[in-house]
Amino acid sequence: MLTALLVACTLAAGCATPAQPPSRSTPASADATGATAETPAVQAFVVDVRAPDEIRDYLERHLDLMRYRTLADLDDTELERLSIAADRNVRDLLGTLGYFSPEVNIERDRAVAGTQTTRIVRIAVTPGPATVVESVAVSFDGAIADDPAAAVQRLSIRDGWTLPAGKPFTQQAWDDAKTQSLRLLAARRYPLGRIAASRAEIDPEQHVARLSVTLASGPAFRLGTMRVEGLQRYEPELVERIARLKPGTVYDQSALIEAQQRLQDSGHFNSVVLEIDPQGDPQAVPIIATVSEARRNSIELGVGVSTDSGARLSAEHTNHQMPVLGWRAVSKLLLDNDTKSVQSEWTAPRDASLWQWQLFGQLKNEDAASVRVRSQQLRAGRLQRGEAIDRNYYVQYDRATTNGTGYHETAQTISANYAWTQRAFNRLPYPSSGYGLGVELGGGYTLGSQREPFTRARMNWLGIWSLASDTDRQAHAGRIAVRAQAGAVLAKDGVSLPSTLLFLTGGDATVRGYSYHSIGASEANGITTPGRYLAGASVEWQRPILIDGQPSEWESTVFIDAGAVADKASALKAKVGIGAGVRYRSPVGPLQLDLAYGLDTRNLRLHLSVGFTF
């Protein structure tokens, strides 16, 4: 039978009770510390806290007593009252850290140095055993309680409770656990969910906490029609097609966020806010889309640097609604050490099935391996971008003139192509598991004096695996990322093909330790040119860098890359790079810095890149 008093801690944040300040008037010219503009603050007393480091720092930050050290006219009677109140204040603060049976000893003393006498308040704390969670009860009230469709959500809320039995109890952990459970409740079906009751029973004799929370869901919501506000040039149907929020579907906060991001990424809008009307019918809650259209014309200028191609200048012009057609046109100019290019892409508005017409043209001069390539490309087709899958079919014309030492070739082709990409990562741009797969298939004929058929195929794959099953261990163990790529162009020997349809590898995103596109097919005269066959692979271990035992925004990596290009599959010979690097979770995506050693070149090479792409 318990003889100690059970303490119920049900406050939303903290259980500390601040001491009452002494009754006194402060001159109007005094600041918050009691010092005037003419006289510097003088300490009326000092506080000496003796406790374990973490507890001492916490008490020194939050003790009410600390606020009155600069009250110069504080007399001994008032200091005595503050010292007595400090005992309760210390115990309340320790309670927020999970220490409910501490030993607290507060003494007053004086230190004399010459003519100066300093009053001292000594606070000695022995915190005692930390309180540990003994049991947790999460219950539900409202529609979620007996809805079979919400069984998985109920389970995820209980499994997602962040302060389970066996963990130390603190007020912050208790508040965080309730916040997380409420977030999981309101994220799907029940946007009006709330915490109906919560209770933390503390047994100070057994040093255990018994926790209980009741979550009230309110009604389940389904999406209704969308109301668009802020349009001037575009029709509401454009917003609805890009958002892809079907009436009648279950409310899902993440789906609204993804739809909002799609609208933002479309380029048509400067700002987008998607929200539901909580006063609407839960079975068909209105969606309110508030948008601000982007300017019809915009110009972006850029300056950058890359370890692949050095300094870079770029200019981009966007016309969001071309005259007559109403299409969007994006034209770019790029200048760097290896490439000079100009291109323009025109895309039509999406239709009801999310398909859109696309026209593309490009002129490019590029240093590739040991040759210089001057190319032209025209493309026309249809594109569909989905949540997880992109599809694209198009007709393409290619022409390229390739020059090198003792090498000159001009070729042109016409081809029909299909591209398919699937992304199944758990989150972007920082996936911890999942995969991505991209496949391109095409076929056509060479033009000019030769009219020979050819086919082309390319595959890219990225798989990511966490090295632990639960979230906490994943954060410490890291993950393995494996890349693979393969490509082939099949045609008769001796048939000339544009270099832009052939393959090169090497650089930041393929085989580190080698310069960009430096790995190709070897010609008899010793130069390297684009080749008909490509094979590559990479294995990388990505592990968080711990700070104070917790994962930080930085990661360390070790990796091995390999890649090969040749004109015959039997001639493929891998060039290997090994190295290590760091990653930083920047607001614009992963910032990657790698130092790699090329086993073939026997040189170290620095690689820097930004962003996650697949």
Mean pLDDT of 346-354: 87
Please identify which residue in the block is written with the tokens 């479309």: 266
Q: Is the pLDDT of residue 273 over 80?
A: yes
Mean pLDDT of 77-106: 92
Residue 18: its pLDDT value, please?
37
CB 347 within 8 A of CB 357: yes
Q: How many residues does the chain have?
A: 614
Amino acid at 491: A
Mean pLDDT of 4-13: 37
**Whole-prediction pTM:** 0.68
CB 63 within 8 A of CB 48: no
Residues 6+ apart with CB under 8 A from 164: 133, 136
Residue 23: its pLDDT value, please?
39
Q: What top-level class would CATH report for the domain 223-293?
A: alpha beta
Closest by CA position to 339, among listed 366, 362, 363, 312: 366
Q: Give the relative orientation of helices 171-186 and 76-96 as an angle to the nearest 10 degrees.
A: 50
| DSSP β-bridge partners for residue 529 | 521
d(CA 464, CA 469): 13
Residue 42: its pLDDT value, please?
63
Please identify which residue in the block is written with the tokens 């540990």: 132
Mean pLDDT of 175-183: 95
Q: How many CB atoms lie within 10 A of CB 492?
A: 10
Q: 310 pLDDT band (50/70/90 cuts)?
A: confident
Mean pLDDT of 365-372: 89
Phi (first) and psi of residue 345, to 5 degrees = -125, 125
Tens-place pLDDT, residues 405-455: 888 899 999 999 999 999 999 888 888 899 999 999 999 999 988 899 999
DSSP state of 131: P
In DSSP notation, 531-543 reads BSEEEEEEEEEEE
CATH node for 42-129? 3.10.20.310
Q: In the chain, count of helices (H) and strands (E)?
A: 7, 28
Closest by CA position to 244, among listed 258, 234, 254: 258
Q: Is the pLDDT of residue 476 over 80?
A: no
Tens-place pLDDT, residues 44-60: 899 999 999 989 999 99
Q: Is the pLDDT of residue 20 over 50?
A: no
Residue 526: its pLDDT value, please?
82
Tens-place pLDDT, residues 125-174: 999 999 999 999 999 999 999 999 999 999 999 999 999 999 999 999 99
Q: What is the mean pLDDT of the chain?
A: 88
Residues of the chain with CATH 2.40.160.50: 366-584
Cα 288 to chain centroid, rounded:
26
Q: Which CATH architecture has domain 132-216?
A: Roll (3.10)
Q: Is the pLDDT of residue 394 over 50?
A: yes
Residue 8: its pLDDT value, please?
40
Mean pLDDT of 67-71: 87
Please identify which residue in the block is written with the tokens 């009741």: 214
Q: Which CATH architecture has domain 366-584?
A: Beta Barrel (2.40)
Residues of the chain with CATH 3.10.20.310: 42-129, 132-216, 223-293
